[in-house]
């Protein structure tokens, strides 16, 4: 897939609110490992995470596991890379061992983002090289929604009512509307809302038929214990059902270090027409946070509960939550930072991403996290339907750069590309986005309308793209 970023005149201006400590003394040879592989994290996110680590003086002590095509497309290449041709854990271990031997490296941590694969690669690296990593419960719960919800219940964390769907083909949660999700997925693929039992049964039958033929790291069978009970779950046939919770949705990153919890990032999400997909993220500062009815103190308390439930004693975490009339309802959480376009938004506006304080913490460097003092917005460009892109014209946005303080225009696709869609995944329609600095919060809707008018998209329907379907039930 082509990836094109149209630079802003302001890109040369760089500053960072983050001030890392001094790097390790020569001869210590302490390194972290960052599996920057596209099974786990997209290219734009990889590139900006790496640039933030380079610019904040941390990349010298990180070994990046990376594919050749990713390496060749980076804005700036980091000093230490182990290039792997494809996802083969044994080959990756050999590449890491070669680096260890050549550099006399001692690995002290992993920037682990492979939760969709059950942290399998990170756990293997931990085992082979004796690297400190979270315990089994933390890793399992970050990649298992059933265990996560059980741990939330133990900790008294307010979350959506939920149950396992029955193997008998009947819903486990009788209340409608409700949401059905993959037990081991972290994105919005294969999620759907059901308005009644008949609709749910039809959707589950279709989903089981699709997943039976899928080769997907997320679909491994699960076996775990909780409070003495042994659970055996097949994610191809069983799903988690949750009540539909009203309210605005948010996402946050937090860091646990030395018994303290710091909030690194909070973004407000704006829903798209497809359930579980978003048309924008708004990066909030403390003033906007208060206008939303939230405070850093309140969120630190929630993050402390989440960290306790997942047994995160030190390191990073993220959570998706809603602000409902009953208070904060935690939707999901994981022992890694949030992975989306707001990584690039933070890098371009603030000069750091959540990977920076995370890496500094793992390297035991002194630091002082600073909650964002600037705000930003990412507006996501979707094609209307699948087919061949005939026109994708963003020239109209160039005239708006100064007025709207546009930082960057990013295109995943170009004219001539074939884009696909299916009832279970609409990511193929996500063809680009626009980043803004300090948008007026009272004019967000107006910004959406202005950008929508300025971007010209025309798609020619194609039989091969239409085969996948364009259902809107998820």
CATH number for the domain spanning 469: value is 3.30.470.20
The answer to the question of residue 298 being in a domain is no
Q: In what side-by-side order are the strands of the sheet with 192-194?
A: 162-164, 240-243, 178-181, 192-194
- Give the per-residue pLDDT at 25: 37
The answer to the question of residue 202 being in a domain is yes
Strands (E), 302-420: 315-324, 327-334, 376-382, 387-393, 406-411, 418-419
State whether 413 and 434 are in the same domain: yes
- Give the per-residue pLDDT at 172: 64
- Give the per-residue pLDDT at 336: 94
State whether 30 and 3 are in the same domain: no
The answer to the question of residue 394 being in a domain is yes
Q: Which helix (H) or strand (E) holds 460?
A: strand 456-460
- Give the per-residue pLDDT at 465: 44
Boundary of a domain, candidates 243, 268, 293: 243
Strands (E), 336-419: 376-382, 387-393, 406-411, 418-419
The answer to the question of residue 262 being in a domain is no
Domain that residue 408 falls in:
1-9+373-474
CATH number of the domain within which 225 lies: 3.30.1490
Boundary of a domain, candidates 192, 216, 243: 243
Q: Which two tokens stand for residue 458?
A: 């025309």
Counted domains in the chain: 3
Return the SS3 of 427. helix
State whether 453 and 401 are in the same domain: yes
d(CA 362, CA 461): 49
Strand partners, 230: 225
> CA end-to-end span of the chain, whole Å?
24
State whether 47 and 126 are in the same domain: yes
The answer to the question of residue 269 being in a domain is no
The answer to the question of residue 351 being in a domain is no
Boundary of a domain, candidates 243, 262, 281: 243
Task: Assess contact for 371 and 415: CB atoms under 8 A.
Answer: no
The answer to the question of residue 290 being in a domain is no
323: preceding bond cis by omega (within 30 degrees): no
Tokens 């059950």 sit on residue: 118
Tokens 């990046």 sit on residue: 64
Q: In what side-by-side order are the strands of the sheet with 248-257?
A: 4-6, 406-411, 430-437, 376-382, 278-283, 260-271, 248-257, 315-324, 327-334
d(CA 104, CA 99): 8
State whether 383 and 472 are in the same domain: yes
Task: Assess contact for 459 and 390: CB atoms under 8 A.
Answer: yes
Which ranges of the chain have pLDDT less than 70? 1-28, 166-174, 186, 463-474
- Give the per-residue pLDDT at 186: 65
State whether 29 and 127 are in the same domain: yes
- Give the per-residue pLDDT at 411: 95
Q: In what side-by-side order are the strands of the sheet with 387-393?
A: 418-419, 387-393, 456-460
**pLDDT tens-place string over residues 178-207:** 888 888 876 777 888 888 888 888 888 888
d(CA 306, CA 317): 8
**Would you say the pTM of this structure is higher than 0.85?**
yes
- Give the per-residue pLDDT at 156: 94
Nearest to 331 by CA among 413, 425, 394, 243: 243
């Amino acid at each position: 897939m082509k990836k094109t970023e149209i630079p802003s005149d302001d890109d040369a201006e760089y500053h960072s609110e983050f001030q890392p400590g001094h790097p390790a003394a020569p001869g210590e040879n302490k390194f972290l490992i960052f599996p920057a592989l596209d099974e786990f994290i997209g290219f734009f996110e990889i590139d900006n995470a790496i640039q933030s680590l380079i610019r904040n003086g941390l990349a010298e002590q990180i070994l990046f596991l990376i594919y050749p095509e990713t390496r060749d497309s980076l804005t700036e290449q980091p000093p230490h890379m182990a290039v792997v041709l494809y996802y083969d854990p044994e080959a990756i271990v050999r590449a890491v061992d070669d680096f260890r031997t050549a550099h006399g490296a001692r690995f002290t941590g992993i920037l682990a983002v492979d939760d969709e694969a059950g942290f399998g690669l990170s756990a293997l690296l931990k085992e082979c090289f004796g690297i400190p990593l979270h315990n089994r419960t933390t890793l399992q719960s970050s990649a298992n929604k059933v265990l996560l919800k059980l741990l939330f219940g133990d900790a008294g964390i307010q979350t959506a009512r939920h149950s396992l769907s029955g193997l008998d083909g009947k819903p486990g949660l009788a209340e409608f509307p409700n949401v059905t999700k993959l037990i081991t997925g972290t994105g919005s693929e294969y999620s759907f809302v059901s308005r009644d039992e008949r609709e749910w049964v039809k959707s589950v039958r279709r989903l089981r038929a699709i997943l039976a033929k899928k080769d997907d790291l997320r679909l491994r069978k699960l076996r775990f214990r909780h409070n003495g009970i042994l659970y055996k779950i097949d994610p191809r046939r069983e799903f988690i059902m949750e009540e539909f919770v009203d309210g605005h949705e948010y996402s946050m990153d937090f860091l646990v270090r030395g018994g303290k919890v710091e909030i690194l990032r909070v973004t407000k999400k704006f829903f798209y027409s497809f359930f579980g997909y978003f048309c924008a993220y708004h990066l909030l500062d403390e003033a906007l946070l208060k206008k939303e009815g939230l405070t850093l103190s309140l969120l630190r308390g929630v993050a402390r509960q989440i960290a306790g439930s997942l047994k995160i004693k030190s390191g990073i975490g993220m959570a998706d939550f809603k602000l409902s009339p009953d208070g904060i309802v935690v939707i999901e959480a994981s022992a890694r930072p949030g992975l989306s376009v707001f990584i690039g938004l933070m890098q371009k506006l603030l000069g750091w991403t959540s990977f920076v304080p995370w890496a500094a913490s793992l390297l035991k460097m002194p630091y002082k996290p600073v909650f964002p003092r600037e705000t930003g917005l990412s507006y996501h460009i979707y094609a209307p339907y699948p087919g061949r892109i005939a026109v994708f014209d963003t020239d109209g946005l160039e005239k708006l750069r100064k007025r709207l303080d546009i930082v960057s225009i990013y295109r995943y696709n170009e004219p001539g590309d074939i884009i696909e869609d299916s009832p279970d995944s609409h990511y193929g329609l996500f063809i680009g986005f626009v980043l803004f600095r300090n948008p007026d919060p009272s004019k967000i809707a107006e910004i959406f309308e202005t950008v929508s008018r300025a971007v010209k998209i025309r798609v020619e329907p194609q039989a091969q793209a239409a085969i996948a379907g364009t259902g809107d039930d998820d």
